[in-house]
Amino acid sequence: PVVVAGDFNAHSTGWRCSPRQDSRGGAVADWAVELGLLLMNRGSTSTCVRPNGESIIDLIWASPSAFRMFRVWEVEAERETLSDYRF
């Protein structure tokens, strides 16, 4: 099983980040498809919240075997993190 998590700083409609896709978003999506990874992010809760806007740039990708091990994955929007990121 493989899990890859990170601040990809990539925008794509594929993870409901924004109505647009940037070049990084396209590259990340292509990379995930090439490796057969599935996106674990569900819903549309932003992972990065700043005064000038919100976005979903923190992503978790998993191989199919790892994906089946997780029953629920969600962003805890109400938890105070003292950061501009949600976990």
Q: Report the 3 state secondary structure along 2-69.
A: CEEEEECCCCCHHHCCCCCCCHHHHHHHHHHHHHCCEECCCCCCCCEEECCEEECCEEEEECHHHHCC
CB atoms within 10 A of CB 1: 10
Q: What pTM value is reported for the model?
A: 0.71
pLDDT of residue 37: 97
Could you read off the pLDDT of 14-65 as tens digits, one per residue?
776 666 778 888 899 999 999 999 988 876 666 666 677 666 678 889 999 9
pLDDT of residue 25: 85
Could you read off the pLDDT of 62-84 as tens digits, one per residue?
999 999 998 776 666 565 554 44
